[in-house]
Structure formats: C-alpha cells, structure tokens
Amino acid sequence: MRSGSAPREEDRRRDGQARAGDEPGDAGLELVVGERQEMSGEAASRADIGLPGIQSELVRQIYAAGKPTVLVLMNGRPLTIPWEAEHIPAILETWFLGIQSGHAIADVLFGDVNPAGRLAVSIPRSVGQIPIHYDYRNTGRPQNDSDKFTSKYIDLPNSPLYPFGYGLSYTKFTYENLNLSKARMKRGESLEISVQVKNTGGRDGDEVVQLYVRDMVASVTRPVRQLKGFKRISIAAGTSKTVTFTVSSDALSFYDLNMKRTVEPGMFKIFVGGSSVGGLETEFEIVQIRE
C-alpha cells in the first residue's frame, strides 16, 4: 500500500507542461500549486517541504514564458518556496479553505476584495531553519555578520522567507508618531500606546496594526519579541487613523525560576508595525516600588 504522502505518478507527469506557457495572447496566468489534502495532517510528515513533484519545474517554465503570473498556493503547512518568492510577482496563500474558497480566491485575484490577511506562522527559507518562530530567545552569541563565531548560517540568512504577521494588500501603509502615555510605570498600572497609520496608496484598505514587546533584562531568558496586541482597521485612501493600545503591567508578567507569575522592574522595548519584523520602536520602564 502506498503512503498517502508519497508522490503519485501524476505528480511527476509532464503531459502538457511544454505547452503551458505557449498559449497566445498577453493575458496573465493564475497558477495553482501546492499539496493534496492527504499530504497534511496526522501521519503525513514530509522531509522536504518544497512544492511536491515537478511543480517547481512547472512554475519556472511558466515564468520563462514571460507571462504575468500569480501563484496560488494550496497547502496544509508552510512551504519552502525561495525561488518562487524571488521571481513570481504575486503569491496568494490560501491554505486549505472550505466550500466557498473559489469565490473568496476569485474576489482577491480580480481585485473585488482588498486582502488584509496576515501570517499566523513564520515561513522558512529552507527546511534546515526549522524550528523557526518570531518569539525566539536570544543566544549568548547573537548574529553578527562581521564575526564568524556567532549564531548564523553560512549559506542562508537567519530570517524567515516571510515573517509572522506578514501580509500585503492592494494599497500601502506607513506608520508615524509612536507615543507613550508615560515613560515609567509601576506594577498594577497600565500604559497607553498610540501610533498614526496612513494609507498612502490609491485604494481603501484594511491594515492589521501589531504591537510587540521585549523585556530587555529579566531573571529568566525572554523572547526577542512577544505579540501583545493587534487591531484591524479600515483606512480610506490618502487618510490616516490613530490606533491606541493599552498594556497593563500584568501583560508583561512571566513565570520566574520558582514558577511563580511575576512582573520584574526594568526596561521594555515597544515595537509597532505591520509584522513581527521592523516597525517603529520606543521604550519604557517598570519601576520598583520601595517598601
């Protein structure tokens, strides 16, 4: 019996592939690739999480034909697609959707809907980067390109192909005027964080504004970033909106060495932007209350 995740014969067939990019006209192509449903889920692990079979070869042949191409991915896991990401101008990640998926995908492809989905995972460049996630702990030797003996690959960037929280739309957004209600707060208090988001494109659209925090020094290692809030907002083309988050000191707590929930005094860094990478930065301090 053949495993459900093993490549089928039809995955390797090239019938019609030579003609795939030879159709007349200048119309663009929507190329749908990815996994079969049974290739994901229980008892369906894959050692190579690139496009199965000869799909990568097909994508390259379509690209070589010079036609405008949108790549539509259907898959149950993040796929390693570094060549496709570099060469194909538009990629739509659809995962495995339900019975109305055809309508939803068509609405996005034809521009009837301005998408605002964001990745809930990090997409690796290579299977060798796994596990990869945005909230990793720093090492004793963080990446330094000028120092060989630091934590990095010699053949790939450390960064994911697409980071957690990433996503595009048919318009663009900029961030400015990141402000805090105060620079210092005590345990039990809250802090308000505001930022101005502007739609600089030509279409109305939705942006997912994301708030991340980093505890700079703690008694146990802390992630380089942690998502502490997000808001999806609609902004008309050429206009701005101010987005406000409220962060309590309890939201900055963690389990200490004695497995007790605690809030430690010290400096915290704030990041606000459209994904887990980059964004505007500022900082504040939780101060110790003297008994």
Among 84, 113, 142, where does a domain finish?
113
Above 90 in pLDDT, residue 112?
Answer: yes
Among 65, 82, 113, where does a domain finish?
113
Above 90 in pLDDT, residue 21?
Answer: no
Residue 216 located in a structural domain: yes
The percentage of the chain sitting over the pLDDT mark of 70, rounded to a whole number, equals: 90
For residues 177 and 246, membership in a common domain is answered with yes
Above 50 in pLDDT, residue 164?
Answer: yes
Average pLDDT for 12-16: 56
Above 60 in pLDDT, residue 23?
Answer: no
Q: How confident is the model at residue 16 (pLDDT cuts 50, 70, 90)?
A: very low
Average pLDDT for 81-98: 96
Residue 164 located in a structural domain: no
Average pLDDT for 272-283: 97
Q: What CATH number is given to the structural domain containing 235?
A: 2.60.40.10
pLDDT for the residue numbered 1: 30
For residues 100 and 199, membership in a common domain is answered with no
pLDDT for the residue numbered 8: 60
pLDDT for the residue numbered 144: 86
- Give me the number of domains the chain comprises: 2
Which position has the token pair 């449903």? 37
Above 90 in pLDDT, residue 143?
Answer: no
Q: What CATH number is given to the structural domain containing 32?
A: 3.40.50.1700
The percentage of the chain sitting over the pLDDT mark of 90, rounded to a whole number, equals: 82
| b/e sequence 32-62, b meaning 16+ C-beta within 10 Å | ebbbbeebbeeebeeeebbbbbebeebbebb
Single pTM value for the model? 0.89
Q: How confident is the model at residue 26 (pLDDT cuts 50, 70, 90)?
A: low
Above 70 in pLDDT, residue 289?
Answer: no
- Label the pairing between strands 184-186 and 280-287: parallel
SS (H, E, C) the chain: CCCCCCCCHHHHCCCCHHHCCCCCCCCCEEEEEECCHHHCCCCCCCCCCCCCCCHHHHHHHHHHCCCCEEEEEECCCCCCCHHHHHHCCEEEECCCCCCCHHHHHHHHHCCCCCCCCCCCCCECCCHHHCCCCCCCECCCCCCCCCCCCCCCCCCCCCCCCECCCCCCCCCCEEEEEEEECCCEEECCCEEEEEEEEEECCCCCEEEEEEEEEEECCCCCCCECCEEEEEEEEEECCCCEEEEEEEEEHHHHCEECCCCCEECCCEEEEEEEECCCCCCEEEEEEEECCCC
Higher per-residue pLDDT: 25 or 244: 244
Above 60 in pLDDT, residue 73?
Answer: yes
For residues 185 and 89, membership in a common domain is answered with no
pLDDT for the residue numbered 10: 56
Higher per-residue pLDDT: 24 or 214: 214
**What is the domain extent for residue 239?**
173-287
Residue 141 located in a structural domain: no
Above 90 in pLDDT, residue 72?
Answer: yes
pLDDT, tens digit (0-9, with 9 covering 90-100), for 214-260: 999 999 999 999 999 999 999 999 999 999 999 999 999 999 999 99
Average pLDDT for 161-179: 98
On average, the pLDDT of the chain sits at 91
